[in-house]
Chain A
Amino acid sequence: DTGVSQDPRHKITKRGQNVTFRCDPISEHNRLYWYRQTLGQGPEFLTYFQNEAQLEKSRLLSDRFSAERPKGSFSTLEIQRTEQGDSAMYLCASSLGEGLGDNYNEQFFGPGTRLTVL
């Protein structure tokens, strides 16, 4: 499978616990994005990476959230001291990021990690 993969697919945790999600982008895609989607809403942008550099962060990304992409390949999103309001689908996407034509920054999404905070 050459698409974006995310792990785990589902995570149930208790309030106050830390959780970490992993995203593996499409091979050779330079850009990687994190979004959050709550029930009945469209995805909301959290942050994105160009290779290993984190270039943009949403104000939604509170100080309890941290994302990394240490070698410019896979990325992790960690949520510390989870709250019930963190319950959502966390989506990762990737794009080629460079090249000719207007499709080089098309964002392709993974299946998501569904987080439930009890």
Chain B
Amino acid sequence: QKEVEQDPGPLSVPEGAIVSLNCTYSNSAFQYFMWYRQYSRKGPELLMYTYSSGNKEDGRFTAQVDKSSKYISLFIRDSQPSDSATYLCAMRKGGSEKLVFGKGTKLTVNP
């Protein structure tokens, strides 16, 4: 079993839809949780960064962390065609610099 599991999709939604992306993990030592967006043949771009459990909102994006269930989510409201990309979850243990990534979920928002 991989440390971080993420459904690779692909996920296709109409413009304006609410998108829910998820990751599960097995190592309870993870304390820092991130979501990155990666356009084709580009480097990952940091979207959200959260520490421990709870919610964090930034514009149309909301990140949720449930450490008791070892489950993290990213919600995208009012999705736009420009949101079409691969979304990667990543996490890190306290005291470690190593990010452990999921496989990424490929999202397409159709106009």
Chain A residues near B (Cβ < 8 Å): 4, 31, 33, 35, 40-45, 48, 55-56, 58, 91, 95, 102-103, 105-112, 114
**CB distance A48 to B97 under 8 Å?**
yes
**CB distance A55 to B97 under 8 Å?**
yes
What number of A-B contacts does a CB cutoff of 8 Å give? 61
Q: Could you say which of B13-21, B39-47, B65-73, B74-82 contacts chain A?
A: B39-47
Could you list 5 further interchain pairs (A-B, Cβ under 8 angstroms) beyond the known A43-B101, A109-B43, A110-B43?
A40-B103, A43-B44, A43-B88, A45-B100, A58-B98
Residues on B with beta carbons closer than 8 Å to the beta carbon of A42:
4, 6, 88, 90, 101-104
CA gap between A43 and B34 in the complex, in Å: 13
14 A–B contacts, CB within 8 A, in A order: A33-B97, A40-B104, A42-B4, A42-B88, A42-B101, A42-B104, A43-B88, A45-B98, A55-B97, A56-B96, A91-B43, A102-B51, A109-B46, A110-B43
Chain B residues near A (Cβ < 8 Å): 4, 6, 8, 32, 34, 36, 41-46, 49, 51, 88, 90, 92, 96-104
Q: A42-B90, A103-B49, A106-B49 are in contact. Are A56 and B43 (CB under 8 A)?
A: no
Question: How close is B44's CB to chain A, nearest CB, in angstroms?
Answer: 5
**CB distance B42 to A56 under 8 Å?**
no
Q: A102-B51, A114-B41 are in contact. Are A44 and B46 (CB under 8 A)?
A: no
* Interchain CB contact (< 8 A) of B42 among A35, A105, A112: A112
**CB distance A108 to B101 under 8 Å?**
no
Residues on B with beta carbons closer than 8 Å to the beta carbon of A58:
98
Q: A103-B49, A109-B43 are in contact. Are A56 and B104 (CB under 8 A)?
A: no
